[in-house]
Amino acid sequence: MTTSPILMFAFETDLNSNYFLDSVSVTKATVPSIQLLQNSGFENSTTQLNGWVLSCNATCSAGAGGQATYGTNCYLSTGNCFLADCPDTSGTGAVVFLGQAFSATIGITYTISFRLKMAYGGSGSSNTKFTASIR
């Protein structure tokens, strides 16, 4: 039986930090050379996230929200990656969600991997949260 689970990432940042997500991968454990996600490294994106669904971006009170970016914060400092920059300045818990559905078969084992970097640019402590889940 084939299903369509969703790989979901949730990012909650603050005024001092943000996250960079890159090289997301979902493969069958027995066939690791076949990528099941579209645009898994965000290379086919400029600011629009082709193949991905971005939600709750409107809750951001400052920052870029969620978008494709490039530069030294991306894995190996090359190509594009996803930037989550949604600081909560109002105390409401601003969160960026990023997800993508993929085709899966019940009973098959899958390998999920990704590169995540938290960039901290302030003084004091940082109160950020990151979650990865399958729905």
The tens digit of pLDDT for each residue in 89-135 reads 665 567 899 999 999 999 999 999 999 999 877 766 777 889 999 99
The closest of 83, 97, 103, 81 to 37, measured between CA atoms, is 103
Q: What is the pTM of this model?
A: 0.89
Distance CA 46, CA 123 (A): 31
CA distance 41 to 11: 18
